[in-house]
Structures are given as C-alpha cells and as structure tokens.
Structure 1
C-alpha cells in the first residue's frame, strides 16, 4: 500500500481513477444485501420524521469501512451520521457523500423505486457518481469528465424543447407558492413523482425525463446524481445558494431547491417564482 499511495500522490488522475474503481466495487458489494432486505426490513422514524431502516445503517457502515481502509485520508459524509455530530469541515482533497438508501419509504413498502447513491467529490465538487437502481437492477455511473454509463450503455440528457409529450419529475408535498407557480406544468406536461430524488435526477441524466425539480432535498440525496447530470450534458439551476463546492457537512442542514435537465427545461424552471426558502423548512 505504501508504494501505491506514493504513486497516487504523484499522479492526481490515477488517484481519481483508483477511487472510481474502489467506489464501484464498494457499491456492488452492497447490492446483494440491499436486495435481500427489500420490503422485509423493519423501520423506525428519525427526529426529522423521515423513515430509516437497519439496512440504511448497515450499508453506510459497511460501504464506508471498505473505502476508509484504502483512503483513510479522505472525508466521509453519510445521511446516517449522527444528527448530534459537530459540523464537519471538509479539509481533505477528496470526499465521499453517501445516501445508503434513497427512497426509504419505497424500500420499506416493497416499491422498487429506490437506490444506493454514492458521490466522489474533489475540492467540494462532485466529479463522479454511482447510483444503483434497484428497480432496473443497473448501476449508473459517471461524471463531468467521464460521460455517463447506464449499465453498459452510454447515455445523455435530452436536448429537445419542451412540448406536450415532455415528462417531468416533481417531489411532493409542496408549499402553496410552489404549487401555484407550477400550475401550468401540472396542467400541460406529464408529471411523475418517484419518491426518490436520486432516481428522478438519474433518469433525467439518462434522457428518460426532460427535467426534475425538487425543493426539499439534502445534499446526500443529489450529490451522485448531480455528477451524472453534468456528465450527461444536462444543466442545473439552484433556486438559492448552490450546494457545491461543499465546504462542510452536517446532517441537520437546510433543504436544497433545484431544477435540472435539458437546457429548455432549466431555462423554463429558472423563470418560476416558487417563493423564498425560510431559514428552517
């Protein structure tokens, strides 16, 4: 490991590729467990009224243990970190951001719209993402300098203008100002709500959707899929301050609001008046 570590420090690109390969293996190693617990695992409620299962904690612990063994100098951020933990300042060059199960409600009830989401950040910016899509049994991966691979097929975001056949993803519940601003979309486009912001963004990166708009996510929900959107040639718009570059991490953080997808979709979304986010949602 000593010789390898020295080589990685000398060659930044090799350092990135080594982490990509390790991240892929770490996610793949959790797939069998993820599938076995699907629809049968017990659950509880966290303080923020979101569901959590034993599988969330197990995947988080096992996956990060695998990566820490190889990259002990990196930062590690998971949704299942303790809410009481102090604010973590991200000081390492590389950081891993994990949502062990995005779409936990679906997972608990046996609805297969759920995913493992792992992002690799460099100096606070997502450079590569892994999303294991349980519904399709595929690992989607990629980033801004790598493109996007859906299983074994190259993919890209849509480039066509919006029309009556456009399919958009939204996340409910919504605030009154948001539903008012989105009324025209709800009346004219084909709207989906998957219960997983990771998959909504991933399907947008794959060109299955024109765009995705969400106003109630945390950074772990979107870090990996953000890299996929960028790698697939899609656009991203923040309604408030951008989440990246990420300089610190805490579970109890403000919710993020964004729109992502084709240029036409993002341009239309940026014009919406969906209200201002309060300090605490």
Structure 2
C-alpha cells in the first residue's frame, strides 16, 4: 500500500503543478543564477508548491530541492525535487521540459517520477538496488512498461549529448566526434536519460548534472535495464549534512554494457572536476 500511495501521489502532484506551469509556458522572462543557468518565477513557484505538498502528505520525510534546500537531511526517506527541468526550453516555448521527483531511502533513490506536461508523458520506476527493501518491479511511461533497446549500432540509431558535453569535446582536438549513429541534443537532462530507458536512444551523456537532475532518473533507468556509468564519482548514497548545490555528476548511460566501449573514450573527458 505504501508504494501505491507514493506512486499515485507523485503522479497527482506533478500533473497538478504541470497544469499550472503550462499556463505560463513560453511567456515568462528568465533571470540568470550564479552558475549562468536560467531561473524563472515558475521554477520558484513550483519548488514551493511541491515542497508544501510533500510536507503535508509525508511530514516525516526529508526534502532537497534545486531552488531552496540543498543540504541532505538526516531522515531515512528523502524527496529530491527538480521543480522545472528544462527551464531554457520552458522560457523559450520549446515543449520539452518536466517536473522531477525522486524518493531516496538512506541516501539512494528507490523511486522516481518525471512528468512532461506538454508532451503528455509521465515516467516512473522502482529500483531496490542494495536497499534491502521489497519494491514493485519495473519502469513505466504512462503506466505502460518500458525497456531499453536491443538494437545494434547503426546510422539510424540515436545517441544524446548535452550542451556542455558538446562544448567540452569541441575543445579537445584529439577526440573525434564521429559516431556510428545519429546524434541528438534534447536540452533536458531527465529526458535525455529517460529516452535511453524507454528504448528511444542507445545512450546519452550529461557533463554537469546535479543531484536533482539524476535522482528520479536513477531509479527509472536502472529499472529499465540500462547501465549507468559515473564519469567522476558515484553519486549515491548521499551524505547527511552535505550541501549539494554546486556538485556535478558527469554521467554516461548506455542501453547495454556492450555499448560502453563505443562511448567511453570521449565520455571520460567529461569526468574532470566541475
């Protein structure tokens, strides 16, 4: 019953917040944060709305969010919230942006839910890992099971980069960007990684994702059978009392272990300290 409640709550609150955000989609003026990324009043409103909803339903759970709470709390259960992943897309009227909720047990994600309001897609998944918990099994999009692709490398298959990974590789003349498949740049870290979980792409790399970018996708990607390859250090478990605002986790995710050698030679360049 606990897990059914968790799943239903995550779907309901992300859809409710998403409906509100759609009213301002493409119309708000962003400002710059200290790291150069954009933030809008919608990010801040959604952060507050999600924190309030979680605190009301699960008052004993901890919280860590992109916009306000950056220090990992001492509770066994903690929600990590990205209230609006893809703020640039949101502000510019590009429909690929989402709301991300990850639930951690003793510092490691065991459940994730990511809702993309304009796309009409909601992903969720459960991953017990080494937690010792008994969980439901699987990864889902709109409640239908998803799984990584079994396709072979070909010019008709896809690999996703982020903006910063492309920039980093362009500054390394010894590395060729020639790949045996097509390249995409989706502009949203969660959707980048979830596209692998759902079989749309064979791999993806993120150069500077923060913990709120990967907490929900960690559970879903693993549940779908993908391989997560940290390029600098393991992201989980998180440490109680540590501030995660400035810490990045360069990451490569591939649909299958046999694909890793194809992408690791250039991906490891992204693992230098952020």
TM-score when normalising by structure 1: 0.85
Evaluate the alpha carbon distance shift between residue 193 and residue 273 of structure 1 in structure 2; reply closer, same or farther with a 3 A threshold.
Answer: closer
Following TM superposition, by how much is the alpha carbon of 1:205 offset from its aligned partner in structure 2, in angstroms?
0.8
Deviation digits for residues 198-250 of structure 1, max 9, x if unmatched?
11111111101111111111111121112111111111100111111122453
Q: CA deviation at 1:18?
A: 2.9
Partner secondary structure for residue 256 of structure 1: coil
Secondary structure of the residue aligned to 1:212 is strand
Distance 2:214 2:121 in 1: 18
Deviates more, 1:163-172 or 1:131-140: 131-140
Q: Secondary structure of 2:145's partner?
A: strand
Aligned match for 1:259, one of 249, 252, 262: 252
Q: Secondary structure at the match of 1:42?
A: coil
| Worse overlay, 134-143 or 204-213 | 134-143
Q: Name the structure 2 match of 1:148.
A: 139
Q: CA deviation at 1:116?
A: 0.8
Post-superposition offset of 1:272: 4.1
Q: Give runs of ≥4 in structure 1 deviating > 6 Å.
A: none
- The aligned residue for residue 221 of structure 1 is 213
Question: How do 1:24-63 and structure 2 match up within 5 A?
Answer: 24-63=11-50
Tell me the residue number matched to 1:64.
51
Match of 1:270 among 250, 261, 264: 264
* Structure 2 CA distance for aligned equivalents of residues 97 and 239 of structure 1: 22
Other-structure match for 1:175? 168
Distance 1:57 1:181, change over 3 A: farther
> Which 5+ residue runs of structure 1 have no aligned equivalent?
1-13
Structure 2 length as normaliser, TM-score?
0.87
For the structure 1 residues 42 and 238, does the alpha-carbon distance in structure 2 shift closer, same or farther, using more than 3 Å as the test?
same
- The count of residues paired between Structure 1 and Structure 2 equals 262
Judged with a 3 Å threshold, the aligned counterparts in structure 2 of structure 1 residues 267 and 94 are, in CA distance, closer, same or farther, namely farther
Contact 1:229 1:261 (8 Å CA) reproduced: no
Q: Distance in 2 between matches of 1:270 and 1:164?
A: 19
Describe the SS at the equivalent of 2:19. helix
1:247 paired residue number: 239
1:206 aligns with 2:209: no
Structure 2 runs not aligned, ≥5 long: 128-135
Q: 1 CA distance for matches of 2:126 and 2:235?
A: 17
Aligned Cα RMSD in Å? 2.2
- Structure 1 pair 129/276, CA: closer, same or farther in 2 (3 Å)? closer
Describe the SS at the equivalent of 1:117.
strand
Please say if 1:160 is aligned against 2:147.
Answer: no
Confirm or deny that 1:235 pairs with 2:227: yes
Q: Supply the distance in 1 between the matched residues of 2:175 and 2:46 (Cα, whole angstroms).
A: 36
Q: Distance in 1 between matches of 2:195 and 2:169?
A: 27
Instruction: Give 1:91 deviation, angstroms.
Output: 1.5
